[in-house]
Structure 1
Amino acid sequence: MLKHLKVFGAAFMLFAPTLGNAADLYEPPIVEAPPPPPFIEPAPASFGGWYLRGDLDYHWSSLRGTEYITYGGSGGTDRFDTTKLKGAFSLGAGVGYQINRHLRADLTGDYWFKSDFEGSTSGTCGGGSPCVSTDKSAYSALLLLANAYVDLGTYHGITPYVGAGIGGAYVMWDDLENAISGGSTVVHKGSKNWRFAYALMAGASYCLTQNLNLDVGYRFTHINGGRMFEYASGVAPGFDKGINVHEARAGLRYQFGPGNPNCAPAPQVVSYEPPAFEPPVYK
């Protein structure tokens, strides 16, 4: 009997650790989740940069008034009864700098092609008889301006703006042909001179690429008055009292460097998703 108990006790001691391990809960190894990606503050938008621009426009001009000197018994000053200037095209170019997201400035030069002038006068001719005349000429101009603009924010790639410019215009009048009804034609040599000018602008630019903008807008330009034509046959010099010009403009602006900040794409937010939870496995 004692012998059997010893055998049973030895067997129990042999198998007891195995039975205890079998009853334990199996736990998978702990895998730590990777830490979330570090937050990197986006670099500030790149402001500033030189740009070049080119423009095409169609403009309509109007004279603020005219006068000319006459000589003789009833000499003095007189003016055209009617004046009309036809529309014309112009080409422009410039260089500028984007100071920040809302402010830029540039220097521009525009050449206005000839705008035809038609006028008429009335008075007395030789012998005191009344007569009328028709007058034809044309003017062209070189306009140089220093401009500043305020960009009013960007909406779906469109940036409206307002601006102003100041500078000068070199106005070139062609010879004036004064044709008297039933009589001869008198030619007055046209005058050329520099004059003060200013401009007011409004428009919008559209982002075509990171460096290229389409610019469409309106510009009002005022040119001070000046000499219009020279003396001939007892009349002149003649003067215009200033020219007002309305311009419909379109052009391109190419910005060097990192690109236009108003064209920068919206930052992409990358979300972090922790790994899926794995339930414990029992065996």
Structure 2
Amino acid sequence: MKLSNSIFVLVGLVGTAISSATAMAGDWNNGNGPLPGMRGSSVPVPAPAPVPDYRAKWYFRGDVGLNISSDPGARVSGQNYGQADSPGATGPVPFGFGGGSFTNATVHSDFPMSAIWGVGVGYYWSPRLRFDLTADVRSHGEVKLNGAYQYTRFARDCCGAWNPIPNSRVDGTVEDKTIMRSGIFLANAYYDMGQYNRFRPYIGIGLGFAYNELERKNRTRETTCDPTAPAFCQVVTSRLDATTTSKDHTVTFAAALTSGFSYEVHNGTHLDFNYRMLYTGSTHADLNVQNVNSRVKIDEMYEHQFRAGVRWDIN
């Protein structure tokens, strides 16, 4: 074969090979998808890994403070006197505290400024919303009743009629004191209004109950004397000196509104300063006095509390 013919044949074979290679390259990605690392192929990008949230979910708290309350109203019912000398409408029919033959009677409630303290556990629902359960103890208050009464004794005559006994007078005194202690249990919700450096102002609301312990003590004394001349009650005879006590436990509704701020002194440690207005419902203390059930009722209370505390986050 001549050299020129051989060259033409070789050139033809090379051209055919190049055309086949180009066609194969054009169909390389069809059907089987891209090959990793090859130019022109699509490589799937993995989803970013979630960033761990290391913020605390739970916290403990402890608080102390000052409690200022308005003295609640108080009154007594069911407590009767003069039963031993009761001729009906013609004489000293049984009379309640402060009425009938009482010469003076006072009811005084004394709930002075006092200390409060408490603990709690809470949960961070979101960066701005949190909840906690708290238990607080407040110092005791007192309700005192003091009075004096006086009347002329009556007695039945031989015919069954009631007649006064002019030379026999009854003088009585009443001392009654109720001591009240309370534990306050609340479920609270707080909304943090933002963060300014390390400060977080917030508002809150709480609902729950007050568990009250009421100790009551009553002392009633009576004497008799002759008020007529010439005795003029110079000789006094004791007729009654009775002391009765009781202890009751009651549960009443409680609610609170709170406003304050926290300051993060260290990672996970917050100082908390707040004002709380606390409402507690009315309660009562019962006592059997001279075989008659008597009740001292203490009205609802509104308290202003100024508190400081610490919250410890739990990681």
TM-score bin (small chain) = 0.5 to 0.7
When residues 181 and 71 of structure 1 are mapped into structure 2, their CA distance, relative to the original with a 3 A threshold, is: closer
Question: How far apart in 2 are the matches of 1:177 and 1:58?
Answer: 31
Match of 1:251 in 2: 309
1:242 is matched with which residue: 284, 300, 304?
A: 300
Alpha-carbon contact 1:161-1:202 (below 8 Å) kept: yes
1:213 matched to 2:213? The reply is no
1:89 matched to 2:115? The reply is yes
1:133 Cα shift?
5.3
Match of 1:104 in 2: 130
Higher Rg of the two aligned structures: 2
1:53 Cα shift?
0.7
Identity %: 25
Question: How far apart in 1 are the matches of 2:221 and 2:143?
Answer: 14
When residues 201 and 187 of structure 1 are mapped into structure 2, their CA distance, relative to the original with a 3 A threshold, is: farther
Per-residue CA distance 1:71-129 (angstroms, 9 max, x = gap): 3535568795332212332321111111222211111111223x241534446355498
Question: How far apart in 2 are the matches of 1:247 and 1:180?
Answer: 41
Alpha-carbon contact 1:136-1:178 (below 8 Å) kept: no
**TM-score, with length taken from structure 1:** 0.64
Structure 2: segments with no counterpart, 5+ residues: 1-50, 82-92, 99-104, 153-168, 224-237
Question: How far apart in 2 are the matches of 1:229 and 1:150?
Answer: 42
When residues 76 and 180 of structure 1 are mapped into structure 2, their CA distance, relative to the original with a 3 A threshold, is: closer
Match of 1:8 in 2: none
Match of 2:76 in 1: 68
When residues 136 and 103 of structure 1 are mapped into structure 2, their CA distance, relative to the original with a 3 A threshold, is: same
When residues 44 and 53 of structure 1 are mapped into structure 2, their CA distance, relative to the original with a 3 A threshold, is: same
Secondary structure of the structure 2 residue equivalent to 1:100: coil
Instruction: Figure out how many residues of one structure are paired with residues of the other and give that number.
Output: 216
When residues 212 and 48 of structure 1 are mapped into structure 2, their CA distance, relative to the original with a 3 A threshold, is: closer
Higher strand share: 2
Structure 1: segments with no counterpart, 5+ residues: 1-42, 258-283
**Please, what is the CA RMSD of the aligned residues?**
3.4
Per-residue CA distance 1:234-259 (angstroms, 9 max, x = gap): 561221122222212111101122xx
When residues 146 and 112 of structure 1 are mapped into structure 2, their CA distance, relative to the original with a 3 A threshold, is: same
